[in-house]
Amino acid sequence: MDFPILSIILLAPVAGVIFLLFIPKDEFKLIKSVAAIALGASFGLTVYTYFAYNQTAGGLQFVERYPWINDLGVTLFLGVDGLSLPMLLLVTMIGFAAVFASWNVSERPREFMILFMLLVVGVMGTFVAQDLFIFLLFYEVVVIPIYIMVIIWGSSKRVTKEYAGMKLTIYLLIGSAFLLVGVIAVFVRALIITGVPDFSFTGLAQVPFPVDFQIYMFALMLLGFGSLLSMWPFHSWSPDGYAGAPTAVSMIHAGVLKKIGGYGLIRIALYVLPAGAQFWAPFMAVLGVAGVAYAAFAALAQKDLKYVIGYSSVSHMGYVLLGIASLNVIGINGAVATMFGHGVMAALFFSTVGFIYEKTHSRWIPDFGGLSQQVPRLAVAFLLAGLASLGLPGLVTFVPEFTTFIGAFKVYGGLAVVAITGVILTALYILRAAANTMFGPKRAEWDHLVDIRGPEMVPLVVLGVFLVVFGLLPSLLMDMVNNGVAPLVAEISDVLQIGGRF
């Protein structure tokens, strides 16, 4: 491709960061506008890319490739396919929306926006990198800005923000240590087998690794990516972390960052180590279903809105894990699409709760009631996100979850049924939370609340549009995802059939 569109998408926020360094720190409006413009540019270009992607041709498009580290065979290899485009769309969308969700940050906004844009760049980079080394570079960039953002702008309710931030950081870093060992071992073994250093995903996928080795390495990667995906029992950072984090971080983190775990499992672990995936798939399925059930029950017991959504997101990630573990096109399609749908929904949810907290200084469900009469627009956002969370047909999450269950049911039967009951539990806790906060008798103490307006509406509009449009026209999402997943699964399918046990 002549026009390096992916580089520009990546570099727009970096340019924004450099710009911000030269803006006086008390120009609040200007600072937020610069961030909005930079992330808006990325978002706009991504939307263009999404629709300009040639689905009939398929494969990697908008490819850019520059030699990077010769002796390790690393190339700066950027490209998108049907697997990464929805994720890229998700991160730029949420990034853009999150700036407006943080429009009222008045404490050190310049540092906030700088860190936030770095965070977004890191997440975007993981989805466009087609080289494992470059992927890793971006993968861990995100950890440190998040930590600093949590400890400065976070909130201490049930746990202190320092605790939440450190727990989140340490969990992810220890997970990534296992991942790193796996990656280094895979690289070295590939070098021994082929004699040519090559770090690209496609290059590594061609290497015939011994089965034992694959099983071992897949376990390491499952630990690394799984803890990022808040796989049960490595999920406990997630509710605490989201509760402590400022709104924008919760949005990005629940919306896309943990999806890097699922994306990495498919793109790297499954693609490069299919025999390992085959071995571990049943375990993944069990852990996934355990996560669905456990987190749904945990969510039922919560009274803090952020904890409800936090556990709910752990529960939804169980579906993703189950979908991936089905190892067939339909299941993985469902998993990827679920990640997208859940991302939009979770971001909207967290931004809504963020606004509620900002206006009332409370997230405690018993404190509320009848808010829909005082803040109707917020109530719309809350309900939209809530209904998407329980998978209402017509919203973006329905078709993906349905697909996941179809894919999983073929393979795991009974387990899938257990997972489906998770949907009922979700409806229970979401509707209960909605009823207790938004409906019921009006409370006089909230009469002074001002509904969201102006820039605050942007997250609702942007995310809401995607929730509805992609829900009504699911092919927009599903065709794209299928375009990425089908060839990937086709490539590994011979391995999966040789040792097939089902």
Residues that bind other proteins (CB under 8 A): 67-72, 111, 133, 136-141, 143-144, 147-148, 151-152, 162, 166, 169-170, 173-174, 176-178, 180-181, 184-185, 187-189, 192
129 close to 202: Cβ distance less than 8 angstroms: no
Least distance (Å) from other proteins to the CB of residue 72?
8
Relative orientation angle of helices 237-244 and 161-194, to the nearest 10 degrees: 130
Considering the complex, what minimum distance in angstroms separates the CB of residue 173 from other proteins?
4
Q: Which is nearer to other proteins, 146 or 425 (CB)?
A: 146
Closest distance of CB 378 from other proteins, Å: 30
Q: Where are the alpha helices (DSSP H) in 53-160?
A: 84-101, 109-128, 132-141, 143-153
Residue closer to other proteins, measured from CB, 176 or 230: 176
Q: Please report, as a single letter, which amino acid is at residue 241.
A: G
Closest CB to other proteins among residues 75, 437: 75
Q: How many CB atoms lie within 10 A of CB 51?
A: 11
Which residues, at least 6 apart from 165, have a Cβ–Cβ distance to it below 8 Å? 146, 147, 150, 151, 154, 241, 244, 245
Question: Closer to other proteins at the Cβ: 136 or 298?
Answer: 136
Q: Are 43 and 24 in contact (CB under 8 A)?
A: no
Residues 391, 426 contacting (CB under 8 angstroms): yes
- Residue 84 or 227: the one with the smaller Cβ distance to other proteins is 227
Nearest approach, Cβ of 246 to other proteins (angstroms)?
13
- Residue by residue, DSSP assigns 157-219 as SSS-HHHHHHHHHHHHHHHHHHHHHHHHHHHHHHHHHHSS---BHHHHHTS---HHHHHHHHH
- Nearer to other proteins among residue 159 and residue 431 (C-beta): 159
Residue 56 neighbours by CB under 8 Å, 6+ apart: none
Task: Compute the least distance from the CB of residue 88 to other proteins, in Å.
Answer: 19
Q: Shortest approach of other proteins to residue 108 CB, angstroms?
A: 8
Give min distance, CB of 147 to other proteins, in A.
6
Least distance in angstroms from the C-beta of 152 to other proteins:
5
Q: Which amino acid is at 69?
A: I
CA–CA distance, 31 with 9 (Å, rounded to integer):
20
Contact yes or no for 390/341 (Cβ under 8 A): no
Q: 178 or 279: whose CB is closer to other proteins? A: 178
Q: State which residue, 179 or 420, has the beta carbon closest to other proteins.
A: 179
State phi, psi for 393 to the nearest 5 degrees. Answer: -60, 140
- Nearest CA among 310, 309, 304 for reference residue 360: 304
Q: Pick between residue 168 and residue 295 the one whose CB is nearest to other proteins.
A: 168
Instruction: Name the minimum Å distance from CB 115 to other proteins.
Output: 10
